[in-house]
Amino acid sequence: MYSTVCETDRVTTNSPATPGSYVEPGEFKRDTNYITTRITADGRDGFPVERGSYRLIAARACPWANRTLIVRRLLGLEPVLSLGLCGPTHDARSWTFDLDPGEVDPVLGIHFLRDAYLRRFPDYPRGITVPAIVDVNTGAVATNDFAQMTLDFSTEWTEFHRPGAPQLYPPELRSEIDTVAKRIYTEVNNGVYRCGFAGDQQAYDAAYDRLFTALDWLEDRLSRQRYLVGDTITEADVRLFTTLVRFDPVYHGHFKCNRNKLDEMPALWGYARDLFQTPGFGDTVDFDQIKAHYYIVHTDINPTRIVPKGPDLSGWLTPHGREKLGGRPFGDGTPPPPPVPAEVVGRK
């Protein structure tokens, strides 16, 4: 059976009603095997970076796909890497292009993202995941390796970066970025899922303690500096932001990560608002799609599929005061221009 996961890292599904995730006794585990083909400047894996040859397939609901939307915006890759958006809900077969006219992607001509996976691997055995990059010429998926994808946007797609694009993965900071990002991934990005899909009390308690230990570490770190590494926005900030922006709307209640709400952790709350109000971050976030995905798709956790009306999200646009910590969001670069009209949140 195919499984379909927002989270790109995959776990097996035991129910068509619960695509991509399930609750079993013990600790939540992920399948972290990806299509590791890379799209590079020299084309060494058979996929050279080229204008118009690839289509990024994402979903605004998904935190891992949200990373690619942010980095693509910050670097100005919109003119060379087109975007297809799947809707926030799906069944066990595949993400679908149900936001488009006729529920068909206008470039790839498919309804199920699964078709692009099967075009390359007819017996593809793993989850049909976002983000994915599809070769437009063949209609086949090139890669779904979300962690490498954004790093390659920064390092392999440089020919097509906009003037003023920031250095999100500067060579002199890569070691520290990698170290910080690894802890964020294991303890926070994945930590909320370890809580939400824990199969017994002992596993949940351990996951909860790990998550909030890491959040306390981040609260302390960010009380003293504006950004996670150095004095500008880097890849590490992108990776943390997409979990933080989903924390109060979803993870606090739905995943039982409820020691504190984000807005009860002053440094993290200020940091998250600072990024949200930075061009390229908040303008990629669709809270309605985020809530719809988690509460409707995860029926093991929410069998009624009722989507809560709250929480009040108006605070995201309130002053954050982080400027007093110094730092320059884009370093020697500049903010990205406004989103292209077709990609404005809420447009489809």
Task: Taking residues 238-267, report their average pLDDT.
Answer: 98
pLDDT value for 55: 98
pLDDT value for 24: 57
With 60 as the cut, is the pLDDT of residue 333 above it? Answer: yes
Confidence label for 8 from pLDDT (cuts 50, 70 and 90): very low
User: Do 119 and 194 fall into the same domain?
Assistant: no
Q: What is the CATH number of the domain that holds 121?
A: 3.40.30.10
Answer for the pair 39, 49: CB distance below 8 angstroms, yes or no. Answer: yes
The residue count for the chain = 348
Confidence label for 5 from pLDDT (cuts 50, 70 and 90): low
- Angle of helix 63-75 relative to helix 146-155, nearest 10 degrees, comes to 10
User: Do 128 and 249 fall into the same domain?
Assistant: no
Task: Taking residues 239-247, report their average pLDDT.
Answer: 98
Q: Where among 125, 160, 195 does a domain terminate?
A: 160
Whether residue 165 lies inside any domain: the answer is no
Domain boundaries, position 213: 175-343
pLDDT value for 348: 56
Q: Where among 129, 160, 191 does a domain terminate?
A: 160
Whether residue 40 lies inside any domain: the answer is yes
With 60 as the cut, is the pLDDT of residue 56 above it? Answer: yes
Whether residue 166 lies inside any domain: the answer is no
**Number of domains into which the chain is organized:** 2
Answer for the pair 73, 284: CB distance below 8 angstroms, yes or no. Answer: yes
User: Do 315 and 217 fall into the same domain?
Assistant: yes
Whether residue 17 lies inside any domain: the answer is yes
Q: In the numeric block, which tokens belong to residue 128?
A: 């049909």
**Listed range (31-35, 131-135, 185-189, 245-249) with the worst mean pLDDT:** 31-35
Choose the most confident range, by mean pLDDT, from 91-95, 124-128, 234-238. 234-238
User: Do 205 and 276 fall into the same domain?
Assistant: yes
Distances (CA, A) of 67 to 119, 167, 224: 25, 15, 25
pLDDT digits (tens, 9 = 90+) for 322-331: 999 999 999 9
Whether residue 79 lies inside any domain: the answer is yes
Whether residue 348 lies inside any domain: the answer is no
DSSP SS3 for 132: strand
Segments in the chain forming alpha helices (H): 63-75, 114-120, 146-155, 174-184, 191-196, 201-224, 235-244, 252-254, 266-276, 287-297
Kindly calculate the radius of gyration of the chain based on its CA atoms and give it in whole angstroms: 19
Cα separation, 292 vs 298, whole angstroms: 10
User: Do 262 and 289 fall into the same domain?
Assistant: yes
Nearest CA-CA partner of 147 in 191, 178, 114, 188:
178
Whether residue 304 lies inside any domain: the answer is yes
Strand order in the sheet with 82-85: 82-85, 54-58, 132-135, 140-143
Answer for the pair 39, 162: CB distance below 8 angstroms, yes or no. Answer: no
Q: Where among 160, 189, 212 does a domain terminate?
A: 160
Which residues are part of the catalytic machinery?
62, 193
User: Do 146 and 180 fall into the same domain?
Assistant: no
User: Do 116 and 186 fall into the same domain?
Assistant: no
Does 95 carry a binding-site annotation? yes
H or E element at residue 4: strand 4-5
Q: What is the CATH number of the domain that holds 270?
A: 1.20.1050.10
Confidence label for 91 from pLDDT (cuts 50, 70 and 90): confident
User: Do 203 and 111 fall into the same domain?
Assistant: no
User: Do 276 and 131 fall into the same domain?
Assistant: no
Cα separation, 346 vs 348, whole angstroms: 5
Task: Taking residues 250-270, report their average pLDDT.
Answer: 98
Please give the mean pLDDT across all residues of the chain.
92
Answer for the pair 94, 118: CB distance below 8 angstroms, yes or no. Answer: no
User: Do 190 and 338 fall into the same domain?
Assistant: yes
If one compares 309 and 29, the residue with the highest pLDDT of the two is 309
Answer for the pair 139, 119: CB distance below 8 angstroms, yes or no. Answer: yes
pLDDT value for 16: 28
User: Do 83 and 225 fall into the same domain?
Assistant: no
Question: pTM for the whole thing?
Answer: 0.93
User: Do 333 and 243 fall into the same domain?
Assistant: yes
Burial of 341 (0-12, 13-18, 19+ CB in 10 A): exposed
